[in-house]
C-alpha cells in the first residue's frame, strides 16, 4: 500500500500468470504454449515490416487483418474486434458488456482471469459448479444473470461442451451476452462462430497464442453481432487506439494465410495428446477427456503437489493449482515428442 495509490488499487487481486522461468533447458509444460514454432511465413512477414514504416502509427482498425480473419471464418469484417491478446479483448468485454447490476455466471473451475476482471470493474459474479465429472451442465446457466462466460474447451479441465449445448445456453439467455472463450477450440472442438448470425447475444473470443504458436505476438479477437463489436470499439477507443502494432498485424495475417502449417501443428498436438493420455493412464492417472493442447490429470495415490515438485526437480515444469476440487490435478501442456517422453519418464520415476 502507498499513499500514492488510487484507493481502488488497494483492493485489486491481480491475475498470476504461469511462470516464465529464466533457466535454459527446462521442459516447459506449464503455460499451454504451442511446442511447434510459428509458420516461417509469419517470421518473413514480420521481417518485411522492420523498416522505416515503423515511424508511423499502425492502422487503428486493423482493417486488413480483420478482412483476413472474416474471410477465414465466413463472417463480415464489422463482426470482428481485434485486441492485444484475447486477455485484452476479454477485459473490454467485461467492461463494455457485463455491467448490468446483476451477477455474471461462469464455472467454479475455469480461467482464473474472469474473477480478476470482475474485481477490476466491480462486477458481481456467481460461480456455477461443474458436475462431478467436471462438465458444464447447460441447465445451470438458465437463471437470471448479467452475462455468461465460459471457455470451450474449458480451462484448466480441457473438457469440451458440444455445440448443441452451447446453443441451449444461448437460447436461454437471449437478453444477455454469452461469451464463449475459444482459446483452445482448434485442438478438436467445433467453433461457435458458425452461430453468430443466429444469436445476436453471442460473442466468441479466440487467440493466436495457442493453436497458431504466437503467444509472444499478443493477438486475439472477438466475433459477434456488429452491435456487440461496436460496444468493444467504443471501449477500446477510450483506452488505447493502437492495441496491435505493425509487426503483430503483419504476423497475424500471415498466420491465417498458412493453413497447412496451422493444420500440421494442431494435428501434431492432438496425436501427442492421445499418446500422453494413454501413457499416463498406464501409470495410474485419471486423465479428463481433453480437446485442448493440455491435459488435466490426477494420480490414484500420488498428491498433485508432490508430483509437480518432483517433476520440477527433474527440470520439468507443469501447472498445479492449489484450489478446491482440483488440488490433486496436474495441468500438463502437450509438448514435442521429446518433451512428452521426458514428462512420461519423469512421472514413471516418481
Ligand X SMILES: *Cc1c(COP(=O)(O)O)cnc(C)c1O
Whether the Cβ atoms of residue 97 and residue 286 lie closer than 8 Å to each other: no
For CA atoms 340, 342, 348, 350, give the dihedral sign: negative
* Residue number, 77 or 158, with CB nearest to ligand X: 158
User: Cβ 233 to ligand X, closest distance in Å?
Assistant: 18
* Residue number, 5 or 239, with CB nearest to ligand X: 239
* Residue number, 155 or 252, with CB nearest to ligand X: 155
* Residue number, 180 or 287, with CB nearest to ligand X: 180
Distance CA 343, CA 339 (A): 6
Which residues touch 79 (CB under 8 Å, ≥6 apart)? 70, 196, 223, 224, 225, 226, 229
Cβ neighbourhood burial of 20 (10 Å; 0-12, 13-18, 19+): exposed
List alpha helices for 28-124, DSSP H.
Answer: 40-48, 63-73, 85-97, 113-121
DSSP string, 220-246: EEEEE-HHHHHHHHHHHTTT-S--S-H
Cβ neighbourhood burial of 111 (10 Å; 0-12, 13-18, 19+): buried
For CA atoms 217, 61, 40, 54, give the dihedral sign: negative
Q: Which of 313, 324, 287 is nearest to 157 (CA)?
A: 287
User: Interface with ligand X by CB under 6 A: which residues?
Assistant: 85-87, 111, 151, 155, 181, 183, 207, 209, 215, 220
User: Cβ 349 to ligand X, closest distance in Å?
Assistant: 30
Amino acid at each position: 500500500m502507498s499513499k500514492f495509490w488510487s484507493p481502488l488499487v488497494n483492493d485489486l487481486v491481480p491475475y498470476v500468470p504461469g511462470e516464465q522461468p529464466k533457466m535454459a533447458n527446462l521442459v516447459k509444460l506449464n503455460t499451454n504454449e504451442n511446442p511447434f514454432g510459428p509458420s516461417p511465413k509469419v517470421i518473413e512477414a514480420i521481417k518485411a515490416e522492420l523498416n522505416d514504416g515503423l515511424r508511423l502509427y499502425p492502422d487503428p482498425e486493423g482493417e486488413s487483418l480483420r478482412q483476413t480473419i472474416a474471410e477465414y471464418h465466413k463472417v463480415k469484417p464489422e463482426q470482428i474486434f481485434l485486441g492485444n491478446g484475447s486477455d485484452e479483448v476479454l477485459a473490454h468485454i467485461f467492461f463494455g458488456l457485463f455491467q448490468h447490476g446483476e451477477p455474471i455466471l461462469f464455472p467454479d473451475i475455469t480461467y482464473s482471469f474472469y474473477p480478476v476482471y470482475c474485481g477490476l470493474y466491480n462486477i458481481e459474479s456467481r460461480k456455477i459448479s461443474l458436475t462431478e465429472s467436471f462438465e458444464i451442465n447447460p441447465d445451470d446457466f438458465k437463471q437470471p444473470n448479467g452475462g455468461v462466460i465460459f471457455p470451450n474447451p474449458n480451462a484448466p479441465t480441457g473438457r469440451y461442451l458440444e455445440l448443441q449445448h452451447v446453443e441451449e445456453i444461448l437460447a436461454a439467455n437471449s437478453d444477455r451476452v454469452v461469451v464463449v472463450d475459444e482459446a483452445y477450440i482448434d485442438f478438436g472442438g467445433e467453433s461457435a462462430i458458425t452461430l453468430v448470425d443466429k444469436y445476436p447475444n453471442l460473442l466468441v473470443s479466440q487467440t493466436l497464442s495457442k493453436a497458431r504458436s504466437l503467444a509472444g505476438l499478443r493477438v486475439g479477437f472477438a466475433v459477434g453481432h456488429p452491435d456487440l463489436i461496436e460496444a468493444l470499439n467504443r471501449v477500446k477507443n477510450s483506452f488505447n487506439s493502437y492495441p496491435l502494432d505493425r509487426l503483430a498485424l503483419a504476423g497475424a495475417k500471415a498466420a491465417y494465410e498458412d493453413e497447412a502449417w496451422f493444420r500440421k501443428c494442431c494435428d501434431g498436438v492432438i496425436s501427442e495428446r492421445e499418446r500422453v493420455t494413454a501413457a499416463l493412464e498406464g501409470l495410474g492417472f485419471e486423465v479428463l477427456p481433453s480437446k485442448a493442447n493440455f491435459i488435466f490429470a490426477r494420480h490414484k495415490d500420488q498428491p498433485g503437489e508432490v508430483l509437480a515438485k518432483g517433476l520440477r526437480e527433474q527440470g520439468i515444469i507443469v501447472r498445479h493449482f492449489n484450489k478446491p476440487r482440483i488440488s490433486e490435478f496436474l495441468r500438463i501442456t502437450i509438448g514435442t515428442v521429446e518433451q512428452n517422453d521426458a514428462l512420461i519418464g519423469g512421472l514413471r520415476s516418481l
